[in-house]
Amino acid sequence: MYHGHIDVPTFAYFSFGNVWTGSVFGSFNYRVDPRSKDEPPRLLTSIWYGDLSFEKTEPEETFEEEFSAEGWSRTIDKLNELIDAYGTKVRGGRSDA
């Protein structure tokens, strides 16, 4: 289901330990890693730019939210805010994906 710029899975996707990744504009990359066994449980999101994979680069930014449907909703909102800002910068004022 699309939310802003991204097609997102439901929160249940993370309860099975699945990692979710994506890319917008060909150079804005993100990864959401469920840390359900950590104390406290959380969703860890990493952002990096360019054409290298997650394993071959260092994240430019990371942020965490609680491991819950509400935390997932906040993660989606934050990702869309970051995508808007990045899109404006790389597209010269246009933020459409």
Task: Please give the Cα distance from 10 to 28 (Å, whole number).
Answer: 22
Chain length of the chain: 97
Instruction: Please write the tens of the pLDDT for every residue from 55-71.
Output: 999 999 999 999 999 99
Q: Does position 94 have pLDDT exceeding 70, yes or no?
A: no
| Mean pLDDT within 68-88 | 95
What is the pLDDT, as a whole number, of residue 7?
87
Q: What percent of the chain shows pLDDT beyond 90?
A: 76
* CB-CB contact of 79 with 45 (8 Å): yes
* Sequence spans of domains, the chain: 2-90
Q: Does position 76 have pLDDT exceeding 80, yes or no?
A: yes
